[in-house]
Amino acid sequence: MITGTTRLFAILADPVGHVQAPQMLNAWFEAHDVDGVFVPLHVHLDDLDAVVQGLRALHNLDGLVITMPHKTAMAALCDDIGPAARAIGSVNTVRRTPDGRLVGDMFDGHGFVAGLKSQGIDPRGQRILLLGAGGAATAIALALAESGAGALTVANRTRSKADALKACVQAAHPEVRIEVGQPDPRGHDMVVNATSQGMKPGDTLPLDTTLLEPAMTAIEIITKPEITPWLEQARNRGCRIHIGRHMLQAQIDQMARFMLGEAAGA
Amino acid sequence: MITGTTRLFAILADPVGHVQAPQMLNAWFEAHDVDGVFVPLHVHLDDLDAVVQGLRALHNLDGLVITMPHKTAMAALCDDIGPAARAIGSVNTVRRTPDGRLVGDMFDGHGFVAGLKSQGIDPRGQRILLLGAGGAATAIALALAESGAGALTVANRTRSKADALKACVQAAHPEVRIEVGQPDPRGHDMVVNATSQGMKPGDTLPLDTTLLEPAMTAIEIITKPEITPWLEQARNRGCRIHIGRHMLQAQIDQMARFMLGEAAGA
């Protein structure tokens, strides 16, 4: 029941029709007895400055979730951003403090690791093949490095983006072994798909699944479909699989607590 | 269930904790199968310009309800306002068109008359004593004049405000008989309390209730308490009474249809 005392939370997106955050965060608020409502805001990138200026002045607004195409532009509009957001250059969550300051952070990476741990999977000491080198892959690589991953191999169709990801991780975590390589799982304990390959029917596989071995863990961040084609094949080859929903659920929890001021940030 | 396709509606208020619009309009949306959510926005008057600038750029925002202290300032920020809003100089409802234009109107008066008619009461030809001369009283006087009221007497503690109300009604409806007078119900068919007297325990009565006669209809716009002290006494004297909830319900319906673009305005 929304009343005059209900606190406000919103997602900024364009397009907005497909976003899942309203359903997930309203369910979180209900489960945690928070008098809050989470709504979608359809904002064009050109209008982001004006919208954020207005949102700063809403005294019952506590937080924002940021998605395409606003993650990078929003980082520049925050008064303060956390270390993960600074390293990646974008934010996906913003807390509005009572005096109207906006504090941003990025939970893709920490949500990913928390999702692994929620299923009893610890990346510490593991040799990990990371497929993809976009924003989500970079956040995940940083969080894996922070969590003590033994070695990272980054494979991406555009080599220069993989090199940039490697440089970003090395700057933040010089102790971590990270190489740019091929999408070849041999010699790894875990394979993480951080590309969008597998979302659409007919997508090519992100790697040669015949090279997967039963001791490997196959990890996905795509949530729809729940079982992507390569994950299905990995399961058939005897691998442990880890679906994208675990990352999403862990991240929703982290985002909600950050917006409510219960956590210092990622 | 709020999803990415849900349309957004909001009330602008300061303070905001007491507002009833979220409960009433969300119930209206549910009853009319509208995929919409109505939320409170706590906005200081100094920030109204910046907030409205931002709201214009929300492509899934369809409408706003405006309450204290923003009704007059908001009228100046609209791109177009209806005749009732123009006459009174304030708006309580705004529709955002798909191209970001803001069209405002004022539904206090038409909501009042629609509330009367919903209970089978027609002001046409009636001699009406109107207590009060604020914004709500002015809107009600204009709507009663438009509905063919036979004669209006306006009684207000501050005489100059009653004179201003009379001038406003005469400008819009030169055919209507309207006088400034005393809070004396004798010679009238209806008495309308458009003051706030009766909201708080211990308020003085807005008129001498011993002068009420059974043929008179006693009409209230206050909604809490449902039966104000003078209304209770009017009922005891055999008058028909009409409670404030009827105006509020009629107005919620008019506001919702206006925000959804189903009505041209008040």
In a domain, B258, yes or no: no
What DSSP line would sit under chain B, residue for residue? ---TT-EEEEEEESS-TT--HHHHHHHHHHHTT--EEEEEEE--GGGHHHHHHHHHT-TTEEEEEE-TT-HHHHHHH-SEE-HHHHHHT--SEEEE-TTS-EEEE--HHHHHHHHHHHTT---BT-EEEEE--SHHHHHHHHHHHHTTBSEEEEE-SSHHHHHHHHHHHHHH-TTSEEEE--S--TT-SEEEE-SSTTSSTTPPPSS-GGG--TTSEEEE---SSSS-HHHHHHHHTT-EEE-HHHHHHHHHHHHHHHHTT-S---
Residue A263 confidence (pLDDT): 66
Q: Are residues A36 and A146 both part of a single domain?
A: no
In a domain, A260, yes or no: no
Q: Are residues B56 and B185 both part of a single domain?
A: no
Residue B50 confidence (pLDDT): 98
> Contact B59/A50, CB-based, under 8 Å?
no
Q: Are residues A100 and A142 both part of a single domain?
A: no
Last residue of a domain, one of B57, B75, B106: B106
Let me know: does B246 contact B118? Beta carbons within 8 Å: yes
Q: What is the mean pLDDT of residues B219-228?
A: 94
Task: Give the gap in angstroms from C-alpha A19 to the nearest C-alpha of chain B.
Answer: 5
Q: Are residues A38 and A133 both part of a single domain?
A: no
Q: CB-based contact (8 Å) between B5 and chain A?
A: yes
Choose, out of B5, B6, B37, B39, the residue to mutate when testing the contact with A (most A CBs < 10 Å).
B39
Q: Contacts by B236-239 with C-beta closer than 8 Å and gap 24+?
A: B237/B209, B237/B212, B237/B213, B238/B213, B238/B214, B239/B212, B239/B213, B239/B214
Residue A224 confidence (pLDDT): 87
A71 classed as catalytic: yes
> Contact B13/A22, CB-based, under 8 Å?
no
**Roughly how many angstroms between the first and final C-alpha of chain A, as a whole number?**
31
In a domain, B33, yes or no: yes
Q: Are residues B34 and B95 both part of a single domain?
A: yes
Q: Are residues A77 and A11 both part of a single domain?
A: yes
d(CA B130, CA B98): 40
> Contact B3/A23, CB-based, under 8 Å?
yes
Q: Are residues B116 and B226 both part of a single domain?
A: yes
pLDDT tens-digit profile of A107-153? Answer: 999 999 999 999 999 999 999 999 999 989 999 999 999 999 999 99
> Contact B51/A44, CB-based, under 8 Å?
no
Q: Which of these, B18, B115, B96, lies nearest to B55 by C-alpha position?
A: B96
pLDDT tens-digit profile of A209-239? Answer: 999 999 999 999 998 899 999 999 999 999 9
* A:38-67 residues touching chain B, CB 8 A cutoff: 38-44, 47, 50-61
* A:167-206 residues touching chain B, CB 8 A cutoff: none
In a domain, B53, yes or no: yes
Residue A238 confidence (pLDDT): 98
Q: Are residues A157 and A82 both part of a single domain?
A: no
Task: Please determine, for residue A74, whether its predicted confidence score (pLDDT) is greater than 50.
Answer: yes
> Contact B8/A39, CB-based, under 8 Å?
yes
Task: Please determine, for residue B264, whether its predicted confidence score (pLDDT) is greater than 80.
Answer: no
In a domain, B260, yes or no: no
In a domain, A256, yes or no: no
Q: What is the CATH number of the domain that holds B102?
A: 3.40.50.10860
Q: Are residues A25 and A55 both part of a single domain?
A: yes
Q: What is the mean pLDDT of residues A41-54?
A: 98
> Contact B37/A42, CB-based, under 8 Å?
no
Pick the catalytic residue from B71, B161, B166, B200. Answer: B71
Task: Please determine, for residue B180, whether its predicted confidence score (pLDDT) is greater than 50.
Answer: yes
Residue B266 confidence (pLDDT): 47
* A:114-133 residues touching chain B, CB 8 A cutoff: none
Q: Are residues A93 and A115 both part of a single domain?
A: no
Residues in chain A within 8 Å Cβ distance of B8 = 39-41
- Mean model confidence pLDDT for chain A: 95
pTM of the full structure: 0.88
Domain that holds residue A184: 109-247
Residue A189 neighbours by CB distance under 10 Å: 17
d(CA A148, CA A134): 21
d(CA A121, CA A115): 9
Q: Which amino acid is at A195?
A: T
Task: Give the gap in angstroms from C-alpha A57 to the nearest C-alpha of chain B.
Answer: 6
- The percentage of chain A sitting over the pLDDT mark of 90, rounded to a whole number, equals 92
Task: Please determine, for residue A66, whether its predicted confidence score (pLDDT) is greater than 50.
Answer: yes
Last residue of a domain, one of B75, B106, B137: B106
Q: What is the CATH number of the domain that holds B128?
A: 3.40.50.720
- Mean model confidence pLDDT for chain B: 95
Q: Are residues B92 and B133 both part of a single domain?
A: no
Q: What is the mean pLDDT of residues A151-171?
A: 96
pLDDT tens-digit profile of B36-64? Answer: 999 999 999 999 999 999 999 999 999 99
Let me know: does B43 contact A60? Beta carbons within 8 Å: no
In a domain, B264, yes or no: no
Residue A266 confidence (pLDDT): 47
Tell the residue number behind the tokens 């270390």, with chain if given. Answer: A83
Last residue of a domain, one of B85, B106, B127: B106
Residue B263 confidence (pLDDT): 66
Number of domains forming the structure of chain A? 2
pLDDT tens-digit profile of B135-150? Answer: 899 999 999 999 999 9
Residues in chain B within 8 Å Cβ distance of A8 = 39-41
In a domain, B254, yes or no: no
Q: What is the mean pLDDT of residues A3-9?
A: 98
Q: Are residues B125 and B200 both part of a single domain?
A: yes
Q: What are phi and psi of A210, to 5 degrees?
A: -70, -15
Task: Please determine, for residue A265, whether its predicted confidence score (pLDDT) is greater than 70.
Answer: no
